[in-house]
Copies of this chain bind each other. A is one copy, B any other.
Amino acid sequence: MSRLVGKVVIAQGGGPTAVINQSLVGAVVEARKFPEITRVWGAVHGVRGIIEEKFVDLSEATTHNLELVARSPSAALGSTRDKPDADYCLKIFNVFKRRDVHYFFYIGGNDSADTVKIVNEFAAKEGYQLRAIHIPKTVDNDLPVTDHCPGYGSAALFVASAFSGANVDNVALPGVYIGVVMGRHAGWLTGASCLARKHENDGPHLVYLPERQFSIDQFLADVDAAFKKHARCLVAVSEGVWGEKDAKGKKVPLAAALMRKFGREPQVDAHGNVQLSGGALADELADAVGKQLKIKRVRSDTFGYLQRSFPGVVSPTDAREAREVGEKAAQYACWHDVDGSIVIRRTGDYAVKYELAPLADIAAKTRVVPPEYINAEGNGMTDAFRAYVRPLAGELPYVERLWAPPATL
């Protein structure tokens, strides 16, 4: 055991999730056990809190408070959308040197992993001892190497529950229902809607991911066929579906194209992501179904921000794993002289173990839904995907149908 005396800085980045505080508390509670850790500081609002030196002293948070925070949604330290470049990372590193910080845990997605990697490279260059660990988190589930990402399971449970409720609503009042689900480049979360199907004729009957090019004509043909078969139709659509590429060969999300059509220029964030939120996509698809297929009752919802940290909708597996990736980060850093990203390996059905992967394998990379999880038509999920996602989301609230014979007239 190498005793590296110094402070921990821990931070949370990107979009909040239902279980990101489990990871925070896992790392903090574990780190506080080690005598060589002089203080555990939490950066307020992610990396921005580091360069502005806004820290809270988590060594003096009560364990009771931490345990309640662990069970609360969103990012308790505050988050940020800042995407640090090399200069920004150098500022982070300089704060670490000045404040005697030798442990850095950053909970976030692939851009957060990239930040950890760059800061770590500055430390290596100067021979400054830093143990830098990326703790995975994203409802998008789009990190490479790891089997899945903490935060995804709970969001998947929300999406599947929403479609389970929308399905029985749609049975009661038949028509077409379209639900637009988060997922810019990867359709993992939209795919989870398939867990709502229990009976053969349950919805969603159609699922569209950004892994496939979206054609409005094919979409209408699909809805028409499903509606003719079931006399109703539920559709799950990723917010990131795209119909065409621009002059530079970049996919143009339909949601952004529609915002422009209605006179609103979508915002672009520091990560170069064009804004997809808002109801335009759902409204437009519903409008097309109503007008072109002459279906009377067409409704649509955009699940929006509700799906990523809805209080009380938490997958127990997700909560447990989020806790453990946090704990493992502290253990790897304190017991071993290493840096990296914590990854989850699936070792059974269902069992996992935690490992450390090189930061370079995770940083700034995106894992999309592989072909074997999408049906040949590109409008539904396969059984292999259902087997993948089911243990992550956990059990859906039970929904029962009424079984009664027709009355004898």
Flag if A165 contacts B396 (CB, 8 Å): no
Flag if A310 contacts B74 (CB, 8 Å): no
Most B CB atoms within 10 A — which of A69, A290, A311?
A311
Flag if A408 contacts B305 (CB, 8 Å): no
Residue-wise, chain A 163-196 has the 8 Å CB interface mask toward B (1 for contact) of 0111011011100010000000000000000000
Q: Decide: A16 near B57, CB < 8 A? Known: A286-B278, A400-B69.
A: no
Residue in B55, B299, B397, B403 whose beta carbon sits within 8 Å of that of A277 in the complex? B299
Flag if B69 contacts A173 (CB, 8 Å): no
Q: Decide: A408 near B69, CB < 8 A? Known: A75-B172, A161-B312, A279-B278.
A: no
Q: Decide: A16 near B76, CB < 8 A? Known: A65-B400, A278-B283, A283-B280.
A: no
Number of copies: 2
Closest to A406 in B: B56
The reply on A1 being an interface residue by CB < 8 A is no
Flag if B404 contacts A310 (CB, 8 Å): no
Closest to A310 in B: B165
Residue in B279, B296, B310, B311 whose beta carbon sits within 8 Å of that of A279 in the complex? B279
Q: Which residues of B contact A409 (CB under 8 A)?
A: 53, 55, 99
Residue in B71, B81, B407 whose beta carbon sits within 8 Å of that of A173 in the complex? B81
The reply on A282 being an interface residue by CB < 8 A is yes
The reply on A309 being an interface residue by CB < 8 A is yes
Complexed CA–CA distance, A15 and B175 (Å): 13
